[in-house]
Structure 1
Amino acid sequence: MAIWLTLCLLIVLIAYLLGSFPTGYIAVKQLKGIDIREVGSGSTGATNVLRTLGKVPGALVLVIDSLKGVLAIGLVYWLFNFEPIQNYIPPTVDAQLWQPCIVTLAGSAAILGHSKSIFLGFTGGKSVAISLGILLAMSWQIGLATAGVFAFVVAISRTVSLSSIVGAIAVPIFMLLLHQPLPYILFAIAGGLYVILRHRTNIERLLAGTEPKIGQPVATEPEQVA
């Protein structure tokens, strides 16, 4: 049992490190020679990269950050299905009960790593792109539905932050409608609240009517390194 628990904890740690990989920071540093945390919103995520470098780098960061989430959850599936490791699973462990729990822990660790990267002094992004990757790996139907909500709100509002917030609210609803395991539902609620919390400054600007739309610059906000 001790070996099995150690393997589970190791996967969760790796998920955090995957989330911590600072894609946006590296892209802007390499292509423009500046610290993305000192421009725009201060976020290292794809939206701030889009504003700083343009569409192609922004899209690339979005894809890579999403893949970090897919890989974090994929490691858990590998843990439960890789035959040599199965020899270490105690007979008392019910994979159908344990797997959703470990998936939830790994997903939470990846989100935390993305927003509180150990490589950037525990700063980072707002965890939207990596959350989408995690959802796609958990349930591709929910991932695609969430992406659809995001795209719909973006098309109407031209505001990424509003689309992210609405998407975060929609995820627990999709989880309930598709009868997902309880750990996934709890993850969706907690993760959604966390993403919304990371957008608190955006919410203030939305209420004030000053939130920039796609293509518009945002004033640098040193207090929001998110």
Structure 2
Amino acid sequence: MSVFLVIIASYLIGSIPVSYLVARLWKGIDIRNYGSGNVGMTNVWRNAGPVAGVLAWAGDLGKGVLTILLAKHFGGPEVVAAAGIAVLVGHSWPVFLRFKGGKMVATFVGVIAAIALPVGLIAAVVWLAVVGLSGYVSVGSIAAVLAIPLLIWAFHLEWPYLVLGILVAALVIYKHKPNIKRLAGGAEPKIKRKFW
């Protein structure tokens, strides 16, 4: 399979709207019409329940893992990193939802975990710790994605993975601009403690 086909396949895997499908099948709702309107785990959790939220999270994470495992069969770090970027672009700008998707965090962790499991696990721990301490999912997400390039560097992974980490971290923060504005204005909702 050519690199071009790997990238196209990765984008299409990323475009599978797991959170949308889970909310539709679990609760019979179009998640885009509820809460923040975001097609992601947090919005599904808040509007379709914890089980649906976990399923959405697992599916989004799984897209990243699956893509990287497939890409490793067709090339080295450059191909794997390109596939990682493609699946994340597909998740955030999916062809199946008119290019309006999620914020990449769960899929990004899946990508990184499939590249280097310790990095993915530490990033997940950072997310859990910051969300637990702050009560804000968005703050945990931003902290986790900022940690990933540092962890890639600390674990001495190949340079394409560092490029992947820096580029995607920047994209994730860009996607969180509305959350950052709400945080600055004191309007960002905290996760309800009953979810824990």
* TM class, shorter-length: over 0.9
Letter in 1 for 2:120: G
Q: Does 1:130 align with 2:107?
A: yes
SS at match of 2:156: coil
Corresponding residue for 1:18? 13
Letter in 2 for 1:200: K
Q: Does 1:79 align with 2:74?
A: yes
Query: Which segments of 5 or more consecutive residues in structure 1 lack a partner in the other structure?
Result: 1-5, 81-98, 217-226
Query: Which segments of 5 or more consecutive residues in structure 2 lack a partner in the other structure?
Result: none
TM-score (norm 2): 0.95
Letter in 2 for 1:10: L
Deviations 1:105-139 (A, max 9, x none): 10000000001110000111101110010010010
Structure showing greater Rg: 1
Q: Does 1:167 align with 2:144?
A: yes
SS at match of 1:78: coil
Letter in 2 for 1:158: G
SS at match of 1:172: helix
Q: Does 1:48 align with 2:25?
A: no
Question: Is contact 2:26-2:52 (8 Å) kept?
Answer: no
Letter in 2 for 1:135: I
The percentage of aligned residue pairs carrying the same residue is 41
Letter in 2 for 1:45: G
Question: Is contact 2:22-2:55 (8 Å) kept?
Answer: no
Deviations 1:47-94 (A, max 9, x none): 1100111111100110111010001111111224xxxxxxxxxxxxxx
Of 152-161 and 33-42, deviating more is 33-42
Q: Does 1:191 align with 2:168?
A: yes
Shift of 1:9: 1.2
SS at match of 1:31: helix
Question: What CA distance in whole angstroms lies between the structure 1 residues aligned with 2:114 and 2:27?
Answer: 33
Shift of 1:215: 2.4
TM-score (norm 1): 0.83
Letter in 2 for 1:192: A
Question: What CA distance in whole angstroms lies between the structure 2 residues aligned with 1:110 and 1:129?
Answer: 12
Corresponding residue for 1:95? none
Runs of 4+ in 1 over 2 A off after TM superposition: 30-34
Question: What CA distance in whole angstroms lies between the structure 2 residues aligned with 1:167 and 1:206?
Answer: 17
SS at match of 1:79: coil
Question: What CA distance in whole angstroms lies between the structure 2 residues aligned with 1:7 and 1:74?
Answer: 16
Of structures 1 and 2, the one with the larger relative CO (CA 8 A, separation 6+) is 1
Corresponding residue for 1:9? 4
Corresponding residue for 1:37? 32
Question: Is contact 2:113-2:121 (8 Å) kept?
Answer: yes
Question: What CA distance in whole angstroms lies between the structure 2 residues aligned with 1:18 and 1:183?
Answer: 21
How many residues are treated as equivalent by the alignment?
193
Deviations 1:165-189 (A, max 9, x none): 0111111111111111111111101
Q: Does 1:208 align with 2:185?
A: yes
Shift of 1:31: 2.9
